Structure 1
Amino acid sequence: MAHTPVNHPARPIYRAIGGLSGLYLVAFGAIGFITSTGDPLFGRGDTQFLGQGTNLGFSLFSIVAGAIVLVGTVIGRNLDVLINQWMAYLIMVVSLAGLAFIRTEANIFNLSVATVVVLMVLSLVLLMAGMYGKVGTDEERESWEKARLVL
């Protein structure tokens, strides 16, 4: 994308923020997995952790999504940018779908309003980390700066 900054001075901070978001997802998923062990995979019980509704299926989703973000953060080389952006979009879709089906039988992840809010904030944080973490050559940085100054 032409409007994505290249070699932003704070990119290590954004990369760390992306990694912390992935770490939160893994930790929430692991503790949610422990909390909801014995329940059905997509059960709609009253299982909660940190005030957020969860079940075994959502805990597994959180572990996998967080692990993918963490692997991307460790690898770097703009793969973290791509992973952070796509995982942000995926988490945003899951949270919006959860909000749409929150009081129906289609709420397979047993999401609550608090879970939807946390997921939406987390997706925006990952999107921000993906937008500002891009690394490029000096020529790419110079062309981005010239394009930014023209606009």
Structure 2
Amino acid sequence: MAHAFPVNHPLRPTYRALGGLTGIYLTAFGVLGVADTSGQEFFAQNDATALWQGTNLGYSVIAVVAGLILLIGAAIGRNVDIAINKLFGYGFMALSLAALAVLRTDANYLNFTIPTVIVAMVVGLVLTTAAMYGKVGTDEQSRAAREATLLLETH
């Protein structure tokens, strides 16, 4: 079934909050990871963990930066959060699939483990969902989106 993304969805504040909560989680994970791995090699491949996920200083810094950007986007709103959530959602899904491909090799530079791959994929899916249903627009754009959905359903 084809689907046109809604504008002014009734749950858009919930989706915006979901993006912000994801940013809080990533920031907390990253800060704990930086605290646990400080003083180690940036891309160390060891048994360092934060919140039961494999990490190293490199991935922890990436998580902190991504989390802060997501929080800033959620605070700004006005469809800025939609663009940020979409970008980071696709990015985390791609990162998790790439990490899964190199999980037990020397190319596992971010020190991912299976739990880290799962969490990164879930983060990507949550952010992508928040991006799809959180768009704010004018009443005219909202009507056009509803009409497009009705056209897609009848064909």
Tell me the TM-score normalized by structure 2. Answer: 0.94
Aligned positions of 1:115-134 closer than 5 A: 115-134=116-135
Structure 1 distance, partners of 2:65, 2:4, is 30
Q: Deviations over 1:102-145 (max 9, x none)?
A: 11111000000000000000100000000000000000001111
Q: May I ask how many residue pairs the two structures share in their alignment?
A: 150
Stretches of 4+ moved more than 6 A in 1? none
Q: Over residues 8-31 of structure 1, what are the superposed CA-to-partner deviations in whole Å (9 max), with x where a residue is unaligned?
A: 000000000000001100000000
Deviation at 1:46, TM superposition (A): 0.4
Query: What is the distance in 2 between the residues matched to 1:89 and 1:64?
Result: 16
- 2:31 maps to 30
1:94 Cα offset (Å): 1.2
> Aligned pair 1:41/2:42, yes or no?
yes
Structure 1 gaps of 5+ residues are none
- Give RMSD over aligned pairs: 1.0
TM-score, normalization by structure 1: 0.97
Counterpart mapping for 1:92-107 below 5 A: 92-107=93-108
Amino-acid identity (%): 51
Match of 2:15 in 1: 14
